[in-house]
Structure 1
Amino acid sequence: MAVAAGNSFASRFGVHIAVLIFVAIWTIPTLGILVSSLRDKNQIIASGWWNSFASSTQTEAGRLPPASAQVEKDGKFVLEGNIFGDGAKRDISAFGVKSATPTQYPAGTTADLGDGVTLQLNADGSFIMHSPKAFEGDRGQRVYYASSAPPKFTTDNYRTVLFSEGIGRSFMNSLTVTIPATVIPILIAAFAAYALAWMRFPGRALLIAVIIGLLVVPLQMSLIPLLKLYNGVGAFFGMPSKTYLGIWLAHTGFG
């Protein structure tokens, strides 16, 4: 008796552990979406959400000031400033002047660009460019650099969505679609569940197996055939599909 009780406890414990593991696995994507929604948009592009608490490294491009900003010092023409301008400062680890080699020179070193032109780009974004001849042109030298930024969390993504134009109408459309599309399938499923649970009739086991088997069909695979079927039925009965009723019935058919 004690052995049977021990086996029963062990089996229940194993089931509970397995359920917890599956719940954790299913929760990870939701956690990732939540973390990503609070990250800066540039860091979302640069790294995955699992790196959200670490500095993100990305290769960017900037342009130095035009020739009109040059000054002459000790017989050389000089351009200097900060490549970040008034934007957020980041730490630069390397830079280059060609897209093929954006990290050719370590930050703080002086790069020889040819014809006596040199460029020094420091880790804080400050730069100085020397040339024995006057710079020409309305566009400055393009510079590529690898920079790292500390993790940044913001609510700007939510602010953009919640205060965008037409969001109120979108919320009302969502509520108008989701509430009936949830209630109608539940009502229909309740009658079917009662019959399958308490009534005995030929083919009951096969019907249950078919229903359970269809649960593994992804929504993406069944959505288009289902909508085509509904469009055909709607056309037969003269019911337009691009209405709330059509959307409710489409959800009901899948649910």
Structure 2
Amino acid sequence: MTELVHLDVAAGVATITLDSPGNRNALSAQLRGELLAHLQAAIDDADVRVIVLSHTGRVFCSGMDLKESRGAGAQNQGVNEFPAILELIWSSPTPVVARVAGPARAGGVGLVAACDIAVAADDATFAFSEVRIGVVPAVISVTVLPRLLPRAAHELFLTGETFDGPRAVRIGLINSTVPAGDLDAEVARYAEMLRLGAPGALAATKEMLRRERPAALGAQFAEMQQLSARLFAAEEGQEGMRAFAEKRPPAWAVGS
């Protein structure tokens, strides 16, 4: 079986690369499993000072693999590992930098938000597209909402509108945007700055920053995963995914 996520370590930087461009780096079961394993391996490596989450292809991550989620029941609808991935990135004692060279949607935005620092190419776009296929941005809300301005969160979660990199910076989702040709240099700049910090101090600082966030992640993830599972299995969710696969408007959008 071809690996969909790669881990490379050089000069104290672990680069984890999503490499499933054929389905826009969607969060398939295989990709989720490999991503979780590589994240843990990078965190456990004492020589790794910075983790960079990157991708191949045009799209950073399109969210959950809807082909796998169609027809799935509430307890088996393809997101079981995803809260663990988000929590591992969020709570990693090693700083994590997102390198976003293309669109991020739904769960892909959740990955970006979970990272400590996120850098995007100028032409990258973002969207919380869940409501447009009849589901809720539930699980990702645990990492996204602490980043976003509240008014922007209401607007973008409810409308599903696509927004660009400069707006993503203004509302707190990402740190900076640069021309595509400068993206690697910008990521390297952040990685080098992070490498200047003492590993123990960085880990302690991250823990301190997490303490400033209200509520416990585990409890929120459990509640939001139940909500996500229920909506994926509901008729609107299944209809939305059928419509997506058949390249047609969902039933509730017909005539609107």
Higher CA-based Rg? 1
On whether the aligned pair clears a TM of 0.5, the verdict is: no
Give the structure-1-normalised TM-score. 0.22
Q: Which has the higher strand share?
A: 1
